[in-house]
Every structure is written in C-alpha cells, then in structure tokens.
Amino acid sequence: NEDVLKDTVFEPFAKAHGVEIVLEVGNNSESLTKMKNNPNSNIDITYLAESFAEQGIEAGIFEKIDYSKIPNAENINEKAKATVERGYGPAYTLNSIGIVVDPSAGIEINSWEDLWKPELKNKIAIPDITTTNGPAIVDIAATKAGVDIKSDKGEAAFKELEALKPNVVKTYSKSSDLANMFS
C-alpha cells in the first residue's frame, strides 16, 4: 500500500538523493495518455503494465536507461528483461491471463474462442480496455479473427469484440468486481 511505499522506498530514496517525490496516482491508460499528450510532462518514473509500457516504447516517449550505471542490474529476473535488452526499464510485474469458470455453472470452456459461443449469452465478464489485462482481450479477439493486431490497427479485433457483446454481462474495471460476481 501507499504508506508502506512511502516509508520503505520514497522517503529513503528522497533523502539519499536529495529529491522530492510527488506521487501521482492513476491507471495505466491515464498515465500513458498524459505522457503521450504532454512532452513536457513532469512524470520522471512510471509503473505501467507490460502492454502499456510497449505502447510508450513504440511511441518513443521513454528515455533509454544506461544500465552500466546501475550496480545490481545483472540481478534483474530473466523474465523481466525483454525491455531491458532494448534499453528500457524492466517489467515490474509479469502478467498472465486466464479464464475463470464457476464449476457449478455447468459450462465447459476449452479455449478463448469458446467465449463467443451463443450459449454463453449474458454469461461472461471481461476486463475494461483500460485495465492491466484489457489489451490482452483485444489480442485474444485478434487471434480469433486470425489477424495480426498491428496489420489492421485492431480493426478485426474490435469487430470480434462487437460480436462478443451479447455474451458479456459485465465489463469490469477492478479484479475485485469479478471476484464479487462469484460470491
């Protein structure tokens, strides 16, 4: 939580380096949009989920990092190094996405494509596009369409998401919203 970060990270870092830390809280989409739209943004460090970090790298809004100046850079977890090898910050978290099924519902799901089955009308929940896993749903829809998402700027994926709408009972913005649906 924020208090723990202030006590264990922010305050010691600020004291050691003579800087002031101003915490600006927002979701991935809001933070990335601020940085894209304001080249003079006062954001020096940001936490972004992998897909949003990739968007920032592709947009050219991040500075590269000189890892020779970071004494313990060799200790970065191998799975978090994909962006490090290109000169950017490491992933601070690795995401996975899966399908959660209520076993009492009597529904069998074997693949992502099953979510489009007509018998699942008003039975599924998906993450909002602005959440950590939201972009993954767009990728899943592109895969269902059989199209590389970059080749058509997501057009086929969004058509698939439109076709999925009858099955979506909720688009959630917090994972706790999804968990509460199972209560």
Q: What is the pLDDT of residues 126-151, one digit of tens each?
A: 999 888 788 889 999 999 999 998 89
For residue 140, the model assigns a pLDDT of: 95
- List per-residue pLDDT tens for the chain, 183 residues long: 688 889 999 999 999 999 999 888 888 888 899 999 998 888 888 888 777 888 899 999 999 999 999 899 889 888 778 788 888 887 776 677 889 998 888 889 999 999 999 999 999 999 998 887 888 899 999 999 999 988 998 999 999 999 999 999 999 988 888 888 887
> What's the CATH number for 103-181?
3.40.190.10
Tokens of 162: 């439109």
> What's the CATH number for 2-62?
3.40.190.10
Instruction: State the chain's maximal CA–CA distance in angstroms.
Output: 60
- How far is it, in rounded angstroms, from Cα 151 to Cα 42? 34
Residue 32: CB atoms within 10 A of its CB come to: 23
Q: Which of 1, 59, 4, 6 is nearest to 31 (CA)?
A: 59
Report which secondary-structure segment, H or E, holds 168.
strand 168-172
Q: Which of 107, 63, 110 is nearest to 83 (CA)?
A: 63
Q: Which of 3, 2, 52 is nearest to 29 (CA)?
A: 52
Contact 144, 161 (CB under 8 A): no
Contact 117, 111 (CB under 8 A): no
Pairing of strands 168-172, 124-127: parallel
Q: Model-level pTM?
A: 0.64
For residue 156, the model assigns a pLDDT of: 97
Q: Do domains 2-62 and 103-181 have the same CATH topology?
A: yes
Q: Which of 93, 21, 28 is nearest to 56 (CA)?
A: 28
Specify the amino acid at residue 42.
Answer: N
> Could you state, in order of their start, the residue ranges of all structural domains in the chain?
2-62, 103-181
Report which secondary-structure segment, H or E, holds 179.
helix 175-181
